[in-house]
Amino acid sequence: MKEKNLLAELAAYLFSASNGETGRTPSERELAEHFSVSRGQIREALAILEAMRIVERRAKSGIYLTTRQASVEAMALFAKAGVPLDPIQIYETVELRKIHEIKAAELACSRATEENYERLREILHESELRLDAGEGIAKEDRDFHLEIVRATKNSVFHKVCSVYYVMGEQRLPIYFQDPARGRKSHAEHLQIFDALLKRDGNLAQALMSAHLQGVEGYWKGLIQGHTEDAGKTLAPA
């Protein structure tokens, strides 16, 4: 057991080892023994999981899963640990992305500064280099979309979006495995960038909407094929 991922490993283990009826998990002492760490380490991890509202620690009673439904933070955590998320939640996240980013594209048209444009140019340039090298553009895709959100000059907006982009770190590479998808995505990014340059809010909005519609369709198709084996199986360490 590599200690670095104690938090993620613990989260996954709690789900697999908890009482299905009550949601009660093994005690701190048992967990400490299972992971071969001190109780203090377990308590630190549990404190974080409690702050994320994944578990609830009841004094003198035990540790309980607060819900079978993972929190946003938990989803990001599980994604990092390689724990499959409920496909429904993936789809919901895409829907939320549409709500956020279509509006972000519109706002960015009136608020983007030269700094944003410069950063977007860099990202698009990097994308081309990677595509020419036959590589995926997972990171560049995320950077592009988040930079547009940043261009709204609403820092809260940007932080909220950053949260669920963390979740995609494991999935985006899959999406961009197909070079054709990377090319298509990049071409659409260029169009969106043009609209931003022209500060044409309606056009940017429409292009972003179409762009995300494609993403949504991809996941919808993928999810329908994996509805039964994905999800609930929270892989133990």
Partner DNA sequence: CCGCCCATTCTGGTATTACCAAATTTCAAA
Partner DNA sequence: TTTGAAATTTGGTAATACCAGAATGGGCGG
Q: Which is nearer to a second copy, 177 or 227 (CB)?
A: 227
Q: Is 223 in the site for a second copy (CB under 8 A)?
A: no
Q: Is 128 in the site for a second copy (CB under 8 A)?
A: no
Which partner in a second copy, DNA, none is near 38 (CB below 5 to 8 A by kind)? DNA
Q: How far apart are the first and last CA of the chain?
A: 8
Q: Is 63 in the site for DNA (CB under 7 A)?
A: yes
Indicate the DSSP class of residue 9.
H
Burial 7-46 (b: 16+ CB within 10 A, else e): bbbbbbbbbeebeeeebbbbebeebbebbebeeebbeebb
**Which positions from 74 to 113 touch a second copy by CB under 8 A, shown as an x/- string?**
-x------------xx--xx-xx--xx--x----------
Inter-axis angle of helices 87-111 and 179-198, to 10 degrees?
30
Q: Is 7 in the site for DNA (CB under 7 A)?
A: no
- 32 and 38 Cβ atoms separated by less than 8 Å: yes
Q: Is 51 in the site for DNA (CB under 7 A)?
A: no
**Which positions from 180 to 199 touch a second copy by CB under 8 A, shown as an x/- string?**
--------------------
Among 5, 7, 17, 28, indicate the residue that binds DNA (CB under 7 A): 28
* Signed CA dihedral, 33, 36, 42, 45: sign only: negative
Among 32, 48, 190, 222, indicate the residue that binds a second copy (CB under 8 A): 48
Q: Is 209 in the site for a second copy (CB under 8 A)?
A: no
What the block records as the tokens of 2 is 């590599």
